[in-house]
C-alpha cells in the first residue's frame, strides 16, 4: 500500500518539528526527518565543518534522498541515515524506516525540489517571523546541540536567515496549506488534519463517481 505523503517545510525553528510530532501521534504516521540527509563529512576537519553553511540545499545528499523518497512513495522500507549536529557529520550506521499509511517529510527543503513535491499528497509550509525563529534557535542549539550562544547567533544572522530568504521562504508558494508557527502545534495540527480529511473524502468521491 502506498502511503499518503505530507511535506512540512518552513524556516529553521518555525515550528515544523512540533507540528510533525503532533501529526505523527494523531495519524499514527512515520516521520522522515530530512536532517539525516546532510552530507557525510567525517573526512573534513571539525573546525572546517563547524563554519560551513548547512542552510543551503547543496548541504544535503540529494541523490540518496531522492532515491529513498521514491522507494517510500512506493511503499517500500529504507535504511535511513542520521546526523550528529554536535560533530557536524553523519553518524555511522543507519536506522530502518518502514512507511506507515501516512508519512511526514519534515525539513527546511521539504518543498524545495520538484522531485520531492511530485510525490507529496499534501504540502504544508510553517511560517514564523525571523525574530521568533532566532529566539527558538538559540534556545534549542544551546541546550540540545551543545553550541555557544554567540556561535548560534553568528550562524543564524550570517547563514540561516539569508538562506531562508533565498531558498526556504519562496517555497511557500508551492504549499497547499500555510500555517502560523506561533499558534501552537495543536491548533495548526488540527487545521492540517481537517484538510487531510476533506481531501481524502473528495478523492474518494471522485473515485466512486468514476
Taken in order of first residue, the domains within the chain and their CATH numbers are 4-209 (3.40.50.300)
Tens-digit pLDDT profile for residues 55-104: 899 999 999 999 999 999 999 999 999 998 888 788 989 999 999 999 99
Give 114's contacts (C-beta < 8 A, 6+ positions apart).
none
Closest residue by Cα to residue 6 from 144, 112, 168, 119: 119
Average pLDDT over residues 27-36: 93
Whole-angstrom CA distances from 129 to 23, 132, 164, 191, 210 are 23, 5, 11, 20, 44
pTM recorded for the entire structure? 0.88
- Cβ of 102: how many Cβ atoms within 10 Å? 20
Do residues 163 and 10 make contact, with C-beta atoms less than 8 angstroms apart? no
pLDDT attached to residue 188: 85
Residues in CB range of 69: below 8 A, 6 or more apart: 32, 105, 115, 116, 119
Cell numbers for 195, please give them.
484538510
> Is pLDDT at 22 greater than 70 in this prediction?
yes
Condensed to tens digits (0 to 9), the pLDDT of residues 138-159 reads 888 888 877 888 888 888 899 8
Arithmetic mean of pLDDT over the chain? 90
Amino acid at each position: 500500500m502506498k502511503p499518503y505523503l505530507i511535506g512540512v517545510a518552513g524556516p529553521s525553528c518555525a515550528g515544523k518539528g512540533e507540528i510533525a510530532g503532533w501529526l505523527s501521534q494523531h495519524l499514527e504516521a512515520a516521520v522522515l526527518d530530512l536532517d539525516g540527509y546532510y552530507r557525510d563529512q567525517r573526512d573534513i576537519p571539525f573546525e572546517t565543518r563547524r563554519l560551513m553553511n548547512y542552510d543551503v540545499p547543496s548541504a544535503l545528499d540529494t541523490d540518496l534522498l531522492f532515491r529513498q523518497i521514491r522507494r517510500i512513495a512506493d511503499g517500500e522500507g529504507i535504511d535511513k541515515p542520521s546526523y550528529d549536529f554536535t560533530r557536524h557529520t553523519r553518524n555511522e550506521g543507519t536506522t530502518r524506516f518502514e512507511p506507515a499509511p501516512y508519512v511526514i517529510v519534515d525539513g527546511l527543503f521539504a518543498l524545495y525540489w520538484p522531485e520531492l513535491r511530485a510525490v507529496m499528497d499534501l504540502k504544508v509550509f510553517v511560517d514564523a517571523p525571523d525574530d521568533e525563529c532566532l529566539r527558538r534557535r538559540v534556545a534549542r542549539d544551546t541546550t540540545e546541540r551543545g553550541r555557544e550562544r554567540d556561535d548560534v547567533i553568528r550562524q543564524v544572522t550570517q547563514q540561516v536567515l539569508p538562506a531562508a530568504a533565498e531558498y526556504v521562504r519562496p517555497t511557500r508558494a508551492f504549499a497547499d496549506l500555510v500555517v502560523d508557527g506561533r499558534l501552537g502545534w495543536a491548533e495548526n495540527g488540527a487545521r492540517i488534519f481537517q484538510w487531510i480529511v476533506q481531501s481524502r473524502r473528495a478523492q474518494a468521491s471522485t473515485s466512486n463517481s468514476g
